[in-house]
Amino acid sequence: MLGAVLFVYKGEWGLPSIDLECLRSLCLIKFTRCPVHVETSKCNPFYSSQGKLPYLQIGSEKFVGYEKIKAAIEKEGYAIDGKLSKWEDRFRSEAYTNLVFQNLHPYHYYFLFGEPNNYEKTRALYAKRTPFPFNFYYPSQYHKEAEEVVNVFGGFDIYDKLENHDSEYFIVNAKKCINMLSRKLANKIWFFGDSYSELDTIVYSYLSILLNINLPNNPIQVHIKECHNIVNFINRITKDIFQREGLSSVKHLENDHLMTPSEREFMASKKTIQILAALFAILAMGGYAITSGILNVTFDRNQGDDVYIYDDDDDGED
């Protein structure tokens, strides 16, 4: 696959991408060791031909979305379930993957893109990673997709009043699914033992985001933290497989995955306060130096250009 490039949204919280489909595609590439260059800095959904990321470009041909990317690399001999020795395990991987999708996808779309308070946070994440002026349009497309997902799986409209959002159904199903996955994983490295599978990619992609994202309302986050083998599974993949690709705009603490959303927001605001305090201190010292006579600043208008002349009082004067 000479010259193949995968375009994905840049990551956050130590993850290689903020986006579910992008994470799944990155897992495909990294798990199978498919020789593809990953591009995060020059990504624009406009150039994907369908207005979405991720997309895989091989020459002039573009494959948009996880399923098409998966089919494209499978043709080159990089099948995500190819390492499973038993055919029944391949069927089980597909069955479990569909089950995870049915139970986690509605929760993911509602709480990231449908819940009004959360959507402002996620919209900003996507807008920050989308070039101007497209950042005013493409992030809102996830909100429209959430409307359809919620209507199909939940039977209510995201534009209704918040008290009419019957999201408990999504929460209950997501918790049951995570409990099932925790039992299935047990103490194994991968869900099917020593070999990765598509199930591993989808579980990591959904739960790594829901575990790490900082949202005002994310009721499943605490439940994930209580499933220690799932947390270890996520952290191992992030550290061992995506160590180079993991990104964060804020330097996290060693146990950041155990922090609450309010604690994470405090750490981010603390850094901003420190920078502002340093700037204020510099301005204050400069002002003191001028008012106390330590530093004299005169403005010479006799020159053709604006020239600032600095006289140090410590120098001898005639």
- What is the number of other CB atoms lying within 10 angstroms of the CB of residue 236? 12
Instruction: Identify which has the larger pLDDT, 312 or 210.
Output: 210
CATH 1.20.1050.130 domain locations along the chain: 5-259
Highest mean pLDDT among 229-238, 273-282, 283-292, 301-310: 229-238
Q: Which residues contact 157 (CB under 8 A, 6 or more apart)?
A: 147, 150, 151
Residue 317 has pLDDT above 80, yes or no: no
Residue 262's pLDDT is 46
Over residues 281-286, the mean pLDDT reads 56
Residue 257's pLDDT is 45
Residue 282 has pLDDT above 60, yes or no: no
Nearest CA-CA partner of 38 in 14, 19, 55: 55
Residue % of the chain over a pLDDT of 90: 62
pLDDT band, residue 294 (cuts 50/70/90): low
**Mean per-residue pLDDT over the chain, rounded:** 83
- Fold of domain 5-259: Glutathione S-transferase Yfyf (Class Pi); Chain A, domain 2 (1.20.1050)
Query: CA angle, corner 225, sides to 172 and 122, nearest 5?
Result: 75
Identify the sign of the CA torsion 44, 47, 53, 57: negative
Identify the sign of the CA torsion 209, 210, 212, 217: positive
d(CA 103, CA 80): 22
Instruction: Identify which has the larger pLDDT, 183 or 250.
Output: 183
Residue 225's pLDDT is 97
Residue 193 has pLDDT above 70, yes or no: yes
pTM of the model: 0.77
d(CA 264, CA 269): 9
Q: What digits encode the pLDDT tens for the residues 56-115?
A: 999 989 999 999 999 999 999 999 999 898 889 999 999 999 999 999 999 999 999 999
Residue 4's pLDDT is 93
Instruction: Identify which has the larger pLDDT, 129 or 313.
Output: 129
pLDDT band, residue 245 (cuts 50/70/90): confident
Residue 291 has pLDDT above 70, yes or no: no
* Encoded tokens for 73: 């690399």
Residue 163's pLDDT is 85
Residue 215's pLDDT is 95
Over residues 196-205, the mean pLDDT reads 97
